[in-house]
């Protein structure tokens, strides 16, 4: 029997308050995980039991832990995480949900809820303090999902693709296009700036279209530096992706940005997805800003 087939899958869901932790846990529960929220760190060890002597796989777990959890501390959380990952009987991954500060402030304003670290201070003060406290945990996470421009449905789609319990290749790759006007995607591992390429926005016939349209793609591909750029990027990915997989990472996010997030970044992202799929990789494509901004309520 394959030992990995009987390992218990455990996902620790954490991140910024208001970024969508409760929504993420509901999605994971729908995927077949047993979801537990606000579990005190002192009880983690009793919940995550060793594998039975029979060798049968235990039900996968999704555990929500954040600053509202009793006895929560970043250092103690990381110590517990290191202790669990050192054991061979389970696969433990950490999902960190992030969100732009202004979107978080708007979500708290809309729901009239108090930030757990703000007390009698303004909500932005609590958000800044929490971000500072959680920075190390964010860097330690296996996967980061930024919910700033995502609806609950978008979040469900991303979590489903990343944490499905079906047998899947080890490395899941997400390619996203974005607009620099809306800021960098927080979850990005690699960022490519394609604002130097010829911009279809200045052609009146192409402006209303997107990078998914063949005419826009032909316009961008006609740029004299396009071919060399694409060859350079794919040559880099040919080295970077396998080495990332060898390091044990389960997720890789590649972001491609241009000024408006509608033409050049969309087209290049599509071309990178096609190249990666030809390499036999499992890839998800997301155009963050092509159809306008988001930022649905995730509280």
For residue 209, pLDDT over 60 is answered with: yes
Alpha-carbon span 256 to 176, nearest angstrom: 6
Cα 54 to chain center, whole Å? 35
Q: How confident is the model at residue 140 (pLDDT cuts 50, 70, 90)?
A: confident
Region 185-192: what's the mean pLDDT? 92
Q: Does this model's pTM top 0.85? A: no
Query: What percent of the chain is modeled with pLDDT above 90?
Result: 42
Tokens 């308050």, residue?
17
Mean residue pLDDT of the chain comes to 84
Alpha-carbon span 62 to 94, nearest angstrom: 10
Alpha-carbon span 204 to 183, nearest angstrom: 26
Instruction: Find, among 278, 95, 104, the residue nearest to 187 by Cα.
Output: 95
Q: How confident is the model at residue 262 (pLDDT cuts 50, 70, 90)?
A: very high
Cα 58 to chain center, whole Å? 26
Alpha-carbon span 104 to 101, nearest angstrom: 5
At 166 the pLDDT is 64
242 Cβ neighbours under 8 A, 6+ residues apart: none
For residue 55, pLDDT over 70 is answered with: no
| C-alpha pair distances (Å), 90 with each of 51, 78, 135, 163, 181 | 8, 17, 26, 15, 42
**What is the tens place of the pLDDT at every residue in 6-49?**
577 889 899 998 899 889 999 898 888 888 887 776 676 666 66
């Amino acid at each position: 029997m394959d030992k990995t087939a009987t390992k218990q899958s455990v996902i620790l869901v954490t991140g910024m308050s208001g970024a969508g932790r409760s929504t993420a846990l509901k999605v994971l529960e729908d995927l077949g995980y047993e979801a537990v929220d606000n579990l005190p760190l002192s009880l983690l060890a009793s919940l995550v039991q060793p594998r039975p002597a029979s060798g049968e796989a235990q039900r996968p777990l999704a555990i929500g832990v954040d600053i509202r959890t009793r006895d929560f501390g970043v250092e103690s959380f990381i110590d517990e995480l290191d202790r669990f990952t050192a054991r061979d009987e389970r696969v433990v991954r950490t999902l960190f949900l992030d969100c732009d500060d202004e979107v978080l402030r708007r979500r708290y304003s809309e729901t009239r809820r108090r930030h757990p670290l703000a007390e009698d201070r303004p909500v932005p003060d609590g958000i800044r303090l929490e971000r500072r406290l959680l920075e190390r945990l964010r860097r330690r996470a296996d996967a980061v999902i930024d919910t700033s421009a995502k609806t609950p449905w978008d979040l469900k789609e991303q979590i489903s693709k990343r944490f499905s319990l079906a047998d899947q290749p080890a490395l899941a790759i997400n390619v996203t296009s974005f607009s620099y006007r809306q800021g960098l995607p927080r979850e990005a591992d690699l960022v490519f700036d394609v604002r130097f390429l010829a911009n279809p926005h200045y052609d009146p016939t192409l402006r209303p279209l997107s990078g998914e349209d063949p005419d826009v793609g032909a316009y961008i591909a006609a740029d004299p530096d396009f071919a060399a750029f694409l060859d350079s990027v794919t040559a880099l990915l040919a080295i970077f992706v396998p080495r990332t997989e060898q390091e044990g990472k389960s997720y890789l996010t590649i972001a491609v940005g241009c000024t408006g997030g509608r033409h050049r970044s969309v087209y290049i992202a599509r071309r990178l997805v096609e190249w990666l799929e030809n390499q036999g990789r499992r890839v998800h494509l997301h155009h963050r800003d092509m159809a306008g901004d988001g930022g649905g309520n995730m509280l």
